Structure 1
């Protein structure tokens, strides 16, 4: 059973869990919320420029709050697995991707604007050339969010550049910008647009998808939340081959309160 099928089934359940407020929905979608979290994400690229192949990338993400030098932080670890990565223009392969970690220092929290910034590291853990860059990379990540009564708006920005690794592999000089727009509706349902814009400064390639999806947040006894969503995304501007023309972003997120 695919995540999309699970989404359709669960969104129609008449569950007896506690009703969530708009503030709780914002916390469930805010990348700066200082709670332990586990996320299961799936990008299905059913239309890709330069190939007729369907590509697929799964992400396992875990986040945990911590404190260093009396400064609150939020660390997020992401490990991708690619069930269908492009091997040639007419074939795919599968394999583990590159592990990434960023540690956001929460410089401000609460009020109408929250933001944070911190270092980012990428480890060449991919087991195939097609599923990773083959480079150690370093960079930075920054997040700014503005929770409102109607929902949230903000952005997550990253930059990374290689400093070691396979000299025969392409130089990594990459930035991403993820605009985040979420609109809360009754019964824990919300609308979302969270396409990630990708810029390769080394080659000049880029792609800019825009999403239009929906999700639902549930709250369990004890404060744990579950957040399930699906978001179709269309690329509105791009340069270069093998960028997604159309993709579907499906996710299941859990947040756990601090003890």
Structure 2
């Protein structure tokens, strides 16, 4: 909960501080601040606070430090996104263990088809976890795809990933995992918005899955410098699942920064 209080303090400071020059926020600005395909330099601080887990009375926490960088490698517009997780998870005996998780990277090729924004590219997962409980112990390779449809009232879309292990510790479970993240944003007056971004998880190796549905609220600020800030909180409930050890109820909180690109 400390991170959530920190985000709230940041929001109050930005909103109330008269010396921070702010610009008007348009509907397009709000869509870009939530668009995973926006070709802007980004820095995200995301935290999943899981207060209820199926099959246990324990809790968990996953903090993700994420950076996005648009580039033109090979002359094609692309967006690279690197995520560094820090996990706190339950272990046998009722204790908890914390440590660095498995770093992941995808590189999306950006395309358009009419009003749709599309992205597809490779997905890499590195066995960087500092503890056995916070990572899979496997080198993994896969693919990612994104489709976004911006609207005057907000945005809808989806992000799909698939990953399978290709090397690593033979004693660790095989990784054969897909995720699907439906994305719905509805813009409100005064740069507030409603959001739903629960990530559906499918483990094809074990048959376990869980489908969270979220409903949250966010607020966007645009500074005169061109930097955009996006603060949000989204409670998520799992409406269907198979297997223990998966989230029942969690809260997704985040603070996103987008920086303008100067040529």
Q: TM-score, normalised by structure 2?
A: 0.94
Question: Residue 195 of structure 1 corresponds to which residue in structure 2?
Answer: 198
Question: Residue 72 of structure 2 corresponds to which residue in structure 1?
Answer: 67
- Assess if the C-alpha contact under 8 Å between 1:3 and 1:251 holds in 2: no
Give the drift of 1:91: 2.1
Give the drift of 1:11: 4.7
Give the drift of 1:5: 2.2
Question: Residue 26 of structure 1 corresponds to which residue in structure 2?
Answer: 31
Q: In the aligned structure 1, how far is the partner of 2:249 from the partner of 2:120?
A: 31
Gaps of 5+ in 1: none
Q: Determine helix, strand or coil for the equivalent of 1:23.
A: helix
Question: Residue 224 of structure 1 corresponds to which residue in structure 2?
Answer: 227
Question: Residue 56 of structure 2 corresponds to which residue in structure 1?
Answer: 51
Point out the more displaced range, 3-12 or 126-135.
3-12
Aligned match for 1:87, one of 91, 109, 112 = 91
Moved over 2 A (4+): 1-16
Aligned match for 2:108, one of 98, 104, 107 = 104
Gaps of 5+ in 2: none
For the aligned residue pairs, the C-alpha RMSD in angstroms reads 1.4
Q: Determine helix, strand or coil for the equivalent of 1:69.
A: helix
Q: Determine helix, strand or coil for the equivalent of 1:168.
A: coil
Q: TM-score, normalised by structure 1?
A: 0.96
Q: In the aligned structure 2, how far is the partner of 1:131 from the partner of 1:199?
A: 18
Aligned residues: 257
Task: Report matched runs for 1:1-259 at 5 Å.
Answer: 2-11=2-11, 13-14=15-16, 17-82=22-87, 84-88=88-92, 90-108=94-112, 112-259=115-262
Q: In the aligned structure 1, how far is the partner of 2:160 from the partner of 2:93?
A: 30
